[in-house]
Amino acid sequence: MTASAAPNEFNIYESAEARFESAAKRLNLEEGLYRYLKYPNKEIAVYLPVRLDNGKLDVFIGYRVHHSIVRGPCKGGIRFDKNVTLDEVRALAAWMTWKCAVVNIPFGGAKGGVICDPSKLSQAEIERITRRYTAELSEWIGPEQDVPAPDLGTNEQTMAWVMDTYSMHVRHTETAVVTGKPLDLGGSRGRREATGRGCLMVCDRALARLGMKREQTRVVIQGFGNVGSMAAMLMHQAGYKITGLADVNGALYNDKGFDVPKMMDWVYTQKKPLPEFPGGGTKLSAQEVLFQPCEIVIPAAVENQITTQNAHRVQAKILCEGANGPTTAAADDIIDQKGIFVIPDILANAGGVSVSYFEWVQDRQGFFWRESEVNERLRDLMENGFDEVVRYAETHGVNNRIAAYMLAIDRVAVALKHRGIYA
């Protein structure tokens, strides 16, 4: 197996590779198979000419990476962010392959991104970028090929534009080309809450294993967007005590616990900065909140938050990774040595892609399920995924993260062996 050169703790592609390599070695994966699964299936770069509102023409760079189509069409979000790089998109695409395999849904992994700063663009400019990006990729995406979804900087509206543009190209309405759409356009009930709900479900499972009670469990959450706010809301409703919250503006820590519905109203209805929440508690930086006293810490914002520089300061018993890649590979050993129970990202945040899968199924059936049905099926996938990961960890004597990779790689490798190599 090839050694990676010049390790860089903050390159998430290298972090993803380090875990993949460690799991592949444990599985004794044969060299050819290792190389097949390590590299993406396809990488596409697109240069998008877009007319800005001021009349000037600009060109935005976008990517789409298909990591694997071994177990089904590939699936993964589209990120609009100024820091998008091909390496980042590659890593996120590979994670999608492993994530879909951990919860055993019939998809491979993909990811896309456009280098842009949505906060500096008008809605009309974002719409033109989205439509041109979709048009450039129209032969590579589709319900049977690659099914995008929202990610950082994109949302239900963006997905509606992708769906409309694709439909115009194929000359019929094709709702199943993207997931995370508005409810009245083929979206699924429960999709908005799905990733946060998945976090709640795996935390419940971890509590049962560790003999802990919700009411005595303090939870710190970094990120108050889709994943973080929904996890906070649902865990608060379930009886957990949410003692730390953060978004890009900063953090608050309050040992008495937050009234999360009031915080939702403050941030989302009143559009006020999270750290200014009246009577909110101690103000901290958005990163510092991760190291406050609690039983569960949920990083649900961005990558590379828990590193070799700060991992020794995590006080939680359980680390539930709502975000993709919040812990660097180099910090894994420190977290292990502290005996922290890790629910790795490819399991913890798989609720989103699971309900995206349900959305794709419902679109193709043209028959839509009750929310309780969606949540029940989500529970099956998350709990089975959790139990399988823990079983692998025990059987192979590895940590939960490497166990999740081993389970995923094993599932993809078995499918690949059955298929064989074409030509």
Shortest Å distance, C-beta 21 to ligand NAD: 22
Q: Does residue number 222 form part of the binding site for ligand NAD (CB under 6 A)? A: yes
Binding mask 352-371 for ligand NAD (x = CB under 6 A): x-------------------
Q: Does residue number 15 form part of the binding site for ligand NAD (CB under 6 A)? A: no
DSSP states along 334-357: HHHHTT-EEE-HHHHTTHHHHHHH
- Residue given tokens 């009234």 in the structure block: 259
Shortest Å distance, C-beta 35 to ligand NAD: 27
Q: Does residue number 220 form part of the binding site for ligand NAD (CB under 6 A)? A: no
Using CA atoms, how far apart are residues 273 and 315, in angstroms rounded to an integer? 26
Shortest Å distance, C-beta 290 to ligand NAD: 9
Which among 125-133, 321-329, 365-373, 390-398 is the span making contact with ligand NAD, rule CB under 6 A? 321-329
Q: Does residue number 88 form part of the binding site for ligand NAD (CB under 6 A)? A: no
Nearest one of 303, 328, 343, 339 to 222, comparing CA atoms? 303
Shortest Å distance, C-beta 303 to ligand NAD: 7
- Residue given tokens 């028959």 in the structure block: 367
Helix (H, G, I), strand (E, B) or coil at 108: strand
Using CA atoms, how far apart are residues 259 and 168, in angstroms rounded to an integer? 46
Shortest Å distance, C-beta 166 to ligand NAD: 21
Q: Does residue number 16 form part of the binding site for ligand NAD (CB under 6 A)? A: no
Shortest Å distance, C-beta 223 to ligand NAD: 4
Nearest residue to ligand NAD, by Cβ distance, number only: 225
- Contacting residue, 106, 142, 143, 225, with ligand NAD by CB under 6 A: 225
What is the residue type of 263? M
- Contacting residue, 21, 88, 127, 151, with ligand NAD by CB under 6 A: 151
Token pair belonging to 120? 């500096």
Q: Helix-strand-coil percent breakdown of the chain, rounded to 5?
A: 50, 15, 35
Count of residues making up the chain: 423
CA angle 103, 106, 111 (to 5 degrees): 85
In sequence order, the β-bridge partners of residue 45 are 63
Which among 56-64, 130-138, 165-173, 299-307 is the span making contact with ligand NAD, rule CB under 6 A? 299-307
Nearest one of 249, 222, 229, 406 to 304, comparing CA atoms? 222
Q: What is the dihedral of CA 31, 33, 39, 41, to 10 degrees?
A: 150
Q: Does residue number 110 form part of the binding site for ligand NAD (CB under 6 A)? A: no
Token pair belonging to 70? 């071994």
**What are φ and ψ of residue 145, in 5° steps?**
-115, -60
What is the residue type of 92? L
Binding mask 236-275 for ligand NAD (x = CB under 6 A): ----------xxx---------------------------
What stretch of H or E contains 79? strand 74-81
Return the residues of window 277-296 that contact ligand NAD according to CB under 6 A: 286
Q: Does residue number 323 form part of the binding site for ligand NAD (CB under 6 A)? A: yes
Please report which residue ranges of 240-370 form alpha helices under DSSP H.
260-264, 332-337, 345-348, 351-365
> Active-site residue among 25, 56, 99, 111?
111
Shortest Å distance, C-beta 344 to ligand NAD: 12
Report the residue number, 34 or 258, with the smaller CB distance to ligand NAD: 258
- Contacting residue, 48, 101, 263, 300, with ligand NAD by CB under 6 A: 300
Report the residue number, 108 or 228, with the smaller CB distance to ligand NAD: 228
Q: Does residue number 193 form part of the binding site for ligand NAD (CB under 6 A)? A: no
Using CA atoms, how far apart are residues 353 and 179, in angstroms rounded to an integer? 9
Using CA atoms, how far apart are residues 20 and 37, in angstroms rounded to an integer? 9
Report the residue number, 40 or 322, with the smaller CB distance to ligand NAD: 322
99 labelled catalytic: no
Half-sphere exposure of 240 (CA within 13 A, CB side): 28
Q: Do 319 and 340 touch, CB atoms closer than 8 A?
A: yes
Report the residue number, 35 or 82, with the smaller CB distance to ligand NAD: 82
Q: Does residue number 301 form part of the binding site for ligand NAD (CB under 6 A)? A: yes
- Contacting residue, 141, 206, 227, 235, with ligand NAD by CB under 6 A: 227
Q: Does residue number 349 form part of the binding site for ligand NAD (CB under 6 A)? A: yes
Name the residues annotated as catalytic.
111
| Contact positions vs ligand NAD (CB under 6 A) | 151-152, 195, 222-228, 246-248, 286, 300-302, 322-324, 349, 352
